[in-house]
Amino acid sequence: MATDTPALLQLIWLASPALPVGGFSYSEGLEAAIDHGLVHDEASCTAWLLDQLLITQARGDMAAIAQAVPAWRAMDTARLQELNAWVLATRESSEMRLQTVQMGKSLLDWLRNLQGHCPASPEALHCLADLPPTYPLAYALALACSQAPLDQALQAYAFGWAENMTQAALKAVPLGQSSGQRMLAVLARTIPEAVHTALTRTDETRQAFSPMLAILSSRHETQYSRLFRS
């Protein structure tokens, strides 16, 4: 993100599926849900992703990002370490942990590789590397650098997640492009609610409780045929 790039363009950049962090290789349990017959068409896939947005993302990772962005802006390292540890502790399967660690390191590399175009300070990059980074904490640093309002920053994260999950659904269900656009429209309309939920969570109400997703993720690790790493 170039330092002279407007905040809106920085958010669009971060929400892009072209961001080289490997998100395209993960379905976050969707492929396992398809394999077990829980998702099989546009309607069931839309319902699944809406639940994932409102139950796991809004209450968990998005809530952590909402708290990490101001912590990055204040360089509150103790708070950042606490939030990063919470993210790691909420990964209930090895592939979930692999995803957040791999994507976190890839986003750190991306920030470093921007060199003089990256507004992240050397101190912030060093702190991120020392955590070591999870994806929500790395993404929060990128969002903090944009100086965009927090609600807009979370909208960018959520839309990027929704677009990646929709693309995963098109490949794995499979579905057509028109179905994908209808699903994305429903998710986009729900993102403001998810952002509001994330912004109102505290340490006591932030949560990661989705047992079915954890079970499916564990089963996916030994699934016979699969396209995705999660």
Percent of the chain past pLDDT 70, that is, above it, reads 96
Question: Which pLDDT score is estimated for 3?
Answer: 57
Task: Extract the tokens encoding 140.
Answer: 């929060």
Residue 62 confidence (pLDDT) above 70: yes
The residue ranking higher by pLDDT, 4 or 20, is 20
Confidence of residue 162 (pLDDT cuts 50, 70, 90): very high
Label residue 229 left, alpha or beta by phi (over 0 means left) and psi (-120 to 50 means alpha): alpha
Q: Phi and psi at residue 45, in whole multiples of 5°?
A: -70, -40
12 touches 83 (CB < 8 A): no
Question: Which pLDDT score is estimated for 103?
Answer: 97
Work out the mean pLDDT of the chain and round it to a whole number: 92
Residue 4 confidence (pLDDT) above 70: no
Percent of the chain past pLDDT 90, that is, above it, reads 77
Question: Which pLDDT score is estimated for 179?
Answer: 96
Label residue 76 left, alpha or beta by phi (over 0 means left) and psi (-120 to 50 means alpha): beta
Report the distance separating Cα 96 and Cα 73, nearest Å: 28
Least confident of 35-39, 124-128, 221-225: 221-225
Residue 112 confidence (pLDDT) above 70: yes
**Mean pLDDT score, 35-44:** 95
Give the global pTM.
0.94
**Mean pLDDT score, 17-39:** 91
If one counts every other C-beta atom within 10 angstroms of the C-beta of residue 110, the result is 17
The residue ranking higher by pLDDT, 88 or 1, is 88
Residue 116 confidence (pLDDT) above 80: no
